[in-house]
Chain A
Amino acid sequence: MKRASKETGSTNPTTPRGRLPIRRRSLVKRLGLTGEWLVTAAMIYIAFILFVSVFGFLFQPYPHTQTNLFNQLQPPAFMQGGSWEHILGTDDLGRDVLSRLIKGLQLSVLIGVIGTAIGAVLGSFLGIVAAHFRGWVEEILMMLVDVQVSLPFIIFALAVLAFVGNSLTILIIVVGIDGWERYARLSRSMVLSANQQDYVLAVRSLGLSNTKIYSRHVLPNIMGTLIVQMTINLPGVILLESTLSFLGLGVQPPLTSLGQILGVGRDYLILAPWIAVAPGLVIFFLTLSIAIVGDWLRDRLDPTLK
């Protein structure tokens, strides 16, 4: 709390009162919250999710594939008719929802993180290449970006999965490609403007090689924005995987993911809402938390705002 009041700049002599803030106010501040506790809560939640997806198997009460046809659609413990045997209830095949949730989370997070990394590295690299070489290299790359933007990605993903067939690797690559064009555009424009900056001209006139100019001077200055873009994209990738699994083209049984559980739960939404609500809430809070932390990171990664 103390630090928050310092950061708002009221005590900072270099930003006079009444001057319009040039930066868009972060989501956290626009919500009218001082922010710190919300960011903390979001970080704790993300840490918890990461912990569960890595070590969750230790606490998993049942194997996620174990069916019990005598115990179908049992409500969670806190609802009438529930029992502590199955804290979050059971699904249509009598499988423990909590166990499936832990297993599904593991795969969703894995796909989300690797997919985001693929998109970020690929897109940023192509963007930097376009900005460095200019000319026809840039024309072709930016044309590809435009093609990607004008194509609804979900159609593209469905087409690839339907034609190439389905495996976990292909699924990760497909969701990874999602968003590359955003990184490419972003990094291209930032590298173009960074290359116009005097500090790049200064080290260039000192005789620094191109690789070092990019690794030491340009990349650190655009990294903050790219990381924030990753936090914006990560929820999208998780949601894309959920959508594909929901449509039946994503993760295939016996593997499971949050989206797949959600897809199964849709059929029982009236009869047994807990099947869909549990993974839905996990996804909702996960994407929200990542967005909040991303906003906060954007401010923290800019040294001129410290």
Chain B
Amino acid sequence: MKVTETKPEALMQVRDIVRHFSGPRTSFFGPRKVAHAVNGVSLDLYPGETLGLVGESGCGKSTIGQLLLNLIEPTSGSVTFLGQDITKADKTEWRRLRSEMQLVFQNPLGALNPRLTIGKQIREPLDIHDVGDEAGRDSKVQEMFEAVSLPPHLLARYPHQLSGGQQQRVVIARALIISPKLVVCDESVSALDVSVQAQVVNLLSDLQKKLGLTYLFITHDLSVVRHISNRIAVMYLGRIVELADSETLLENPIHPYTRALISAVPVPDPRARASRAVIKGEPPNPFNPPSGCAFHARCAHADTQCRTHLPEFRAIGEKHMVACHHAEALVGKSNTDAN
């Protein structure tokens, strides 16, 4: 299962990707404010793996998803897909590349055209990319519909006539019908009930095994991500602060932010409350990011170095990357010690 251990060729390589959004002008003739939504992120996605990308609202995780699919253009940096730099790909190349990577949305009802039947919408990718003939497309739609375990009579229905879980299955079916290699799931289960969430997560991992898919699973929900991810990356204000195998990251987090996130997941044990690390304050404004380590203002371990110098994203132990000046000191130490 751990594809990462065999060190295969990466499916997608992201190098130092940056995306700025311009905001309002500072004064009438002044320059525009710039939000650093994504500020130098590097990632590798290996075939068949699921990389979980977690972080709080506004940290840029959805922007990364859209950057990978080129739905928005990066300000700088490169994205390489199967050896090809896709940030430089032209229109015709993108038409082909579109079928290789797909997006599964957060709100399934919004992701479906209210005026087209389910069947027509699942079929649409085949029509767009001219896959097979008429009959072939119809049978492929049926097949896919079965694969996401939906009853065939729903094909003639409209999106609003389905439940949220069914709608999300339809969105998944539409994304997978052209057999993409990479699927970006942007908060794909966040809008669903917990029980339906579990069904959809299981469906996603079954389909991954069957079809050999690679997922980038973007979520703010750690309890979901631990079920599906092989590796987890934690983002804070446009940068990745920690990246490791799921177990390593969840059992032995190093970065203080990761520790706080993990301890915020509810544990059904009243005594566990005592050892919780609580993050102070609000997330910083991306138009005016703090100097040095972006997390220093809310970190219990912060010192002068943290306020002035950006920590390097470096390996601590095997396949465990952290961006923290105190990473070595924090290994093995519980989070509350410093308090």
Judged by a CB distance under 8 angstroms, whether A9 is at the interface is no
Judged by a CB distance under 8 angstroms, whether A204 is at the interface is yes
Name B178's closest neighbour in chain A (CB-CB): A206
User: Contacts A199-B110, A205-B69, A207-B129 given: A303-B103 contact, CB under 8 Å?
Assistant: no
A214 CB → nearest B CB, Å: 13
A221 touching B114, Cβ below 8 Å: yes
Per the bound structure, the CA–CA distance linking A208 and B113 in Å amounts to: 14
Judged by a CB distance under 8 angstroms, whether A220 is at the interface is yes
Q: What are the interface flags for B92-117 relative to A under an 8 Å C-beta threshold, 1 for contact and 0 otherwise?
A: 00110011001101110011111110
Per the bound structure, the CA–CA distance linking A166 and B236 in Å amounts to: 69
User: Contacts A198-B107, A303-B160, A304-B160 given: A206-B115 contact, CB under 8 Å?
Assistant: no
CB-CB < 8 A to B128: which residues of A?
A: 203, 206-208
B71 touching A221, Cβ below 8 Å: no
Judged by a CB distance under 8 angstroms, whether B124 is at the interface is yes
CB-CB < 8 A to B129: which residues of A?
A: 206-207
CB-CB < 8 A to B102: which residues of A?
A: 205-206
Judged by a CB distance under 8 angstroms, whether B158 is at the interface is yes
User: Contacts A202-B103, A205-B102 given: A303-B158 contact, CB under 8 Å?
Assistant: yes
Pick from A198, A202, A203, A221: contact of B115, CB under 8 Å: A221
User: Contacts A197-B110, A221-B113, A304-B114 given: A205-B103 contact, CB under 8 Å?
Assistant: yes
B71 touching A198, Cβ below 8 Å: no
CB-CB < 8 A to B98: which residues of A?
A: 205-207
CB-CB < 8 A to A304: which residues of B?
A: 114, 158, 160
Per the bound structure, the CA–CA distance linking A140 and B181 in Å amounts to: 44
A205 touching B71, Cβ below 8 Å: yes
Judged by a CB distance under 8 angstroms, whether A266 is at the interface is no
The interface residues of chain A, by DSSP majority, are classed as: helix
A204 touching B110, Cβ below 8 Å: no
B124 touching A198, Cβ below 8 Å: no
Per the bound structure, the CA–CA distance linking A199 and B110 in Å amounts to: 6
CB-CB < 8 A to A221: which residues of B?
A: 113-115
Q: What are the interface flags for A180-218 relative to B under an 8 Å C-beta threshold, 1 for contact and 0 otherwise?
A: 000000000000000001110111111110000000010
CB-CB < 8 A to A205: which residues of B?
A: 69, 71, 98, 102-103
CB-CB < 8 A to B158: which residues of A?
A: 303-304
Per the bound structure, the CA–CA distance linking A207 and B69 in Å amounts to: 11
B124 touching A206, Cβ below 8 Å: yes
B174 touching A202, Cβ below 8 Å: yes
The interface residues of chain B, by DSSP majority, are classed as: loop
Judged by a CB distance under 8 angstroms, whether B125 is at the interface is yes
Pick from A199, A206, A207, A208: contact of B112, CB under 8 Å: A199
CB-CB < 8 A to B99: which residues of A?
A: 206-207
A206 touching B125, Cβ below 8 Å: yes
A-B contact count (CB 8 A): 61
User: Contacts A207-B128, A303-B158, A304-B160 given: A202-B111 contact, CB under 8 Å?
Assistant: yes
B215 CB → nearest A CB, Å: 16
B111 touching A207, Cβ below 8 Å: no
Name A220's closest neighbour in chain B (CB-CB): B115
Pick from B71, B94, B111, B178: contact of A199, CB under 8 Å: B111
B234 CB → nearest A CB, Å: 26
Per the bound structure, the CA–CA distance linking A203 and B98 in Å amounts to: 10
CB-CB < 8 A to A204: which residues of B?
A: 71
Chain B CB within 10 A, most for which of A203, A206, A220, A303: A206
Q: What are the interface flags for A13-53 relative to B under an 8 Å C-beta threshold, 1 for contact and 0 otherwise?
A: 00000000000000000000000000000000000000000
CB-CB < 8 A to B113: which residues of A?
A: 199, 203, 217, 220-221
A198 touching B114, Cβ below 8 Å: no
Pick from B95, B105, B116, B160: contact of A207, CB under 8 Å: B95
Per the bound structure, the CA–CA distance linking A221 and B178 in Å amounts to: 25
Name A199's closest neighbour in chain B (CB-CB): B113
CB-CB < 8 A to A202: which residues of B?
A: 103, 105, 111-112, 171, 174
A200 CB → nearest B CB, Å: 8
Chain B CB within 10 A, most for which of A201, A207, A217, A221: A207
CB-CB < 8 A to B69: which residues of A?
A: 205
CB-CB < 8 A to B105: which residues of A?
A: 198, 201-202
A260 CB → nearest B CB, Å: 43
Chain A CB within 10 A, most for which of B94, B106, B113, B116: B113
CB-CB < 8 A to A207: which residues of B?
A: 94-95, 98-99, 128-129
CB-CB < 8 A to B171: which residues of A?
A: 202
Per the bound structure, the CA–CA distance linking A220 and B111 in Å amounts to: 16
Per the bound structure, the CA–CA distance linking A203 and B103 in Å amounts to: 10
Per the bound structure, the CA–CA distance linking A199 and B114 in Å amounts to: 9
Name 8 interchain pairs, CB-CB below 8 A, sorted by A: A198-B107, A201-B103, A201-B105, A202-B111, A202-B174, A204-B71, A206-B124, A304-B114
Given contacts A203-B128, A207-B99, 7 further A-B contacts (CB under 8 A): A199-B110, A202-B103, A202-B111, A206-B99, A206-B129, A208-B124, A208-B128
User: What 6 A-B pairs are tightest by C-beta distance, nearest first?
Assistant: A207-B98, A198-B111, A198-B110, A199-B113, A198-B105, A207-B95
